[in-house]
Amino acid sequence: MIEEQTSPKKKGGRKGKTSGKEESLSNETKKPKITRIPPYEPGQTQPFPLSRSKVSNFLQCPRCFYLDVRHKISPPSGPILTLNGAVDKLLKTEFGLLRQTQQPHPELVRAGVSAVPFQHPDLAIWRDNRKGARFLHQPTGFEIYGAIDDLLMDPATDKIHVIDFKCTAKQQDVTSLEGDYAPILKRQIEFYAFILKKMGLDVSETAYFFYSNGCADRPGFHGRLDFRISVVPHQCDTSWIEPTLRQIKDVLEAPKAPEPSEKCGHCKYLAKAKELGP
């Protein structure tokens, strides 16, 4: 047996005290390992993890998606929106407290929604970005997954509603989904509803976006940012998902990448750079 060694006891010192460097190394060893998804191999028989965001990337540009998933050549990513993340975390804390008492959120009540936060032992897994709610799509072999924000349950119907938290800063109240990003947001929440239904949950077609709209019309910042809250319902249409998964399968099995997309900013940039030469 190996005995635990401690530093020599010094006058006025502490027994077994470690240096800052040793503590740092000890903390580093406790960090969880990040499992990287290997490239997709044509003809592979084992399930392939396919996230909601990857499906969204495919719909925006099949070529960039192919280069990413088949060859691990990812397009440049944008900055991490840490303020949005803070709002998201605080909202999850709020809904978590209401889950314990099975009370609806006051902003939902104001919007005429009586559903309460859904209770389930796997909820923490479904909300984990590295795990998420998952379902094996047998026709393609894709293990599709996505990390939800939260779920509601209507006590009157026992139906489950997907709710997604969004943070923005607009002059007008958010009462509907409009603009260039609207289709992406709709598909996001529809993808979650699709997976949860496949997992056997009784999911309603009605989902909700819980918008926190930052107020920039105050006389100053003063270390405080106010938000106007709005709840936007959305009727989910998941009919696009099955054919999209089959299209993704066909693209990944192809021997070469799709042609560059005229709508893709990355493809346009690379094409123009190639024209200009070295």
Same domain, 129 and 220: yes
pLDDT band (50, 70, 90) for residue 119: very high
Whether 7 is covered by a domain: the verdict is no
Same domain, 227 and 161: yes
- The answer on pLDDT for 26 being more than 80 is no
Same domain, 193 and 154: yes
Same domain, 132 and 234: yes
Per-residue confidence (pLDDT) for residue 249, from 0 to 100: 98
The residue ranking higher by pLDDT, 268 or 136, is 136
Per-residue confidence (pLDDT) for residue 149, from 0 to 100: 97
DSSP, collapsed to helix, strand or coil, labels residue 223 as coil
Whether 198 is covered by a domain: the verdict is yes
pLDDT above 70 as % of the chain: 87
Which pLDDT tens digit goes with each residue over 190-203?
999 999 999 999 99
Per-residue confidence (pLDDT) for residue 6, from 0 to 100: 36
Q: Are 164 and 188 in contact (CB under 8 A)?
A: yes
Same domain, 155 and 179: yes
Whether 231 is covered by a domain: the verdict is yes
Mean predicted confidence (pLDDT) in 199-210: 97
How many independent structural domains does the chain possess?
Answer: 2
DSSP, collapsed to helix, strand or coil, labels residue 162 as strand
Same domain, 92 and 197: yes
DSSP, collapsed to helix, strand or coil, labels residue 210 as strand
Per-residue confidence (pLDDT) for residue 59, from 0 to 100: 95
Whether 5 is covered by a domain: the verdict is no
Same domain, 210 and 249: no
Same domain, 189 and 60: no
Q: Are 154 and 214 in contact (CB under 8 A)?
A: no
Same domain, 201 and 158: yes
Whether 71 is covered by a domain: the verdict is yes
For 265, the domain range is 43-78+241-278
Same domain, 172 and 251: no
Pick the range with the lowest mean pLDDT from 7-11, 54-58, 87-91, 170-174. 7-11
Whether 93 is covered by a domain: the verdict is yes
The residue ranking higher by pLDDT, 106 or 21, is 106
Distance CA 146, CA 191 (A): 8
Distance CA 9, CA 66 (A): 61
Average pLDDT, the chain: 87
Whether 37 is covered by a domain: the verdict is no
Measured between its terminal Cα atoms, the distance across the chain in Å is 64
pLDDT band (50, 70, 90) for residue 35: low
Pick the range with the lowest mean pLDDT from 106-110, 126-130, 270-274. 270-274
Contacts of 238 (CB under 8 A, 6+ apart): 190, 191, 193, 194, 197
Same domain, 55 and 177: no
Same domain, 59 and 111: no
Which pLDDT tens digit goes with each residue over 56-108?
999 999 999 999 999 999 888 877 778 889 999 999 999 999 999 999 999 99
Whether 207 is covered by a domain: the verdict is yes
Per-residue confidence (pLDDT) for residue 179, from 0 to 100: 81
